[in-house]
Amino acid sequence: MLTTAAQPRTRFAALAVRARNIVDSGLCPRTSAVPDWLARFEITAFADKKAAQDACRKEKTRSAKYTKAPVPPVSGVESHTYDRNTVGENGLYTTMCLGTVIAEVALAGPNSTLDPATAHSLAQDFAPGSRKAATAS
């Protein structure tokens, strides 16, 4: 993926740069084929289980102000998913608490394109790697 030296000045410019990077990487044949949504995966490791549990509890409390999304829990993992609207873009955010690790999967884009089944599938796919990170920390 190519990166730009300067940050794009507008949201539209940032989307155009992202689309060009996706095409340049070979993931899509042309910019018009780039999907309107994006997925983000994040893992945060903590020094111990208690710190991770406290952080997970805080995240759950913070997320409670958003609408609970119709996404089933990730099997074998304490997880919750909320539909958040931030900066004019909706997102389905799934947080998974795994021992000393908190993993988050975010699916963001225009509201009409967000699919709860896709959010659940991405979280399910990300869970095994998150479990490995939890056992390594």
What is the bridge-based pairing of β-strands 101-109 and 67-68? Answer: unpaired
Query: pLDDT by residue (tens digit) across 82-135?
Result: 888 765 567 888 999 988 999 998 888 766 567 788 888 888 888 888 888 777
Q: Residue 31 gets which letter from DSSP? A: G
Pick from 66, 42, 48: which is nearest to 126 by CA? 42
* Amino acid 12: pLDDT: 64
Q: How far, in Å, CA of 107 to CA of 118, rounded?
A: 8
CATH fold label, 36-136: Protein Transport Mog1p; Chain A (3.40.1000)
Average pLDDT over every residue of 40-63:
91
pLDDT at 88: 59
pLDDT over threshold 90, residue 55: yes
Is this structure's pTM higher than 0.85? Answer: no
Residue 94 β-bridge partners? 81, 105
Segments making up each domain of the chain, as ranges: 1-34, 36-136
Whether residue 77 is predicted with pLDDT greater than 70 in this model: the reply is: yes
pLDDT at 56: 92
Res. 1 pLDDT band, cuts 50 70 90: very low
Q: Per residue in 9-29, pLDDT tens?
A: 666 677 677 777 777 888 778
